[in-house]
Amino acid sequence: MRMIVTKHISRQLTLSLAACFTLFFLLLNPAYSEELVISKSVIDKDTIWQGKVLIKGDVEIAHGATLTIMPGTVVRFQKIEEFGSEKLSLDKLNHFPRAELIIRGRLYAQGTPKNKITFTSAEEKPHPGDWGSINLLGSVDNIIEFCVIQYAHTGAHAHSSQVVIAYSEFHHNGVAIGQKNVKSVSHKSVMPMLYNTITENGGGILYGGGSTTTISHNEINNNKFFGIYAKKGGLANVRYNNITNNGKGVIFYKVKDIILLYNNISDNQDYNVSLLAGQTDDISVSKNWWGTTDEKEIKNLVRDKTRDDSLGTVDFSDFLTNRVSEAGISW
């Protein structure tokens, strides 16, 4: 009997200690027990976000500071007036109309497969464009991994910045991912995009302006207007993606060169490949799977010189005769 009572007391003591430890932990880490609310501000020192965070205006991570976001964190953005008083900048060329997370220092947003980080709208009935963007401005050494990004104007945008975006989900944004260079910044934009799901956005990936990117092993589908939009130069290596069921598959505007190999590009509503007015250079898109081996059917879903004399020619010769099994997310 004494042994049973002793074990019971020991068990109760253990539970009490655990409860005290949990309470102590929550008191020291209020972000786990209540929402951290951040109004328009500039953060100039290393900062950690965890738990729940509500953004009520532009928040900038200044040069020299690092923002680390812990796995499982939910960052919500309140819908603010477009270019209103809660904006830090009214520069419409490099900023977005509503609340942004502006990164001039560094961002480490690394979730885990079972504990992803979420960036989303704080609205009860959210819509694309409720908040601006994870806007990287002249920033290097950034990581966005195992994140869910939704209801933004542009989910993540690199302005002359360097960031790896991997294993993340982008949906219900105006555009999922954007990238371009800014003349006032000396270094160039570099943005590898690997193993992401990019679906049900207005547009998928938009890059250009002399930027450099690798787009590989992504699922890019069911985006209203386009899967990938390449514009005004830049160097892209686009391999092993599934680009399907978008408004247009891949769009080109004033592009001289691209490496586009071993992708499955099929079943896009308007065209699998479309050259816009101003795309006078020829484009080679050989060694991709187009959903068919019928050359006439492939050509019917290509917009180039055969439809408009002012455009370049799309060379899809040496096309693949089978679906690329390694394409898309294979992890």
Q: Can you give the pTM of this predicted structure?
A: 0.88
Residue 104 has a pLDDT of: 97
pLDDT (tens digit per residue) in 129-179: 999 999 999 999 999 999 999 999 999 999 999 999 999 999 999 999 999
Residue 244 has a pLDDT of: 98
Burial of 256: CB neighbours in 10 Å, binned 0-12, 13-18, 19+:
middle
Half-sphere CA count of 116, side-chain side, radius 13 A? 16
Residue 21 has a pLDDT of: 44
User: Alpha-carbon distance 28 to 33, whole Å?
Assistant: 10
Residue 34 has a pLDDT of: 87
Residue 164: both structure tokens together: 């790896």
Q: Which of 157, 107, 159 is nearest to 138 (CA)?
A: 159
Residue 79 has a pLDDT of: 97
Residue 89 has a pLDDT of: 93
Residue 12 has a pLDDT of: 42
According to DSSP, residue 276 is labeled: P
Residue 311 is which amino acid? L
Residue 5 has a pLDDT of: 36
Per-residue model confidence as pLDDT tens for the chain (331 residues): 434 333 333 444 343 444 444 334 444 444 445 899 999 999 999 999 999 999 999 999 999 999 999 999 999 999 999 999 999 999 998 999 999 999 999 999 999 999 999 999 999 999 999 999 999 999 999 999 999 999 999 999 999 999 999 999 999 999 999 998 888 787 888 999 999 999 999 999 999 877 788 999 999 999 999 999 999 877 789 999 999 999 999 999 999 878 999 999 999 999 999 999 999 999 999 999 999 999 999 999 999 999 999 999 999 999 999 999 999 997 6
Give the angle subtended at the CA of 189 by the CAs of 201 and 100, to the nearest 5°. 50
Residue 150: both structure tokens together: 């939704």
Name the 3-class secondary structure at 131. strand
Residue 293 has a pLDDT of: 95
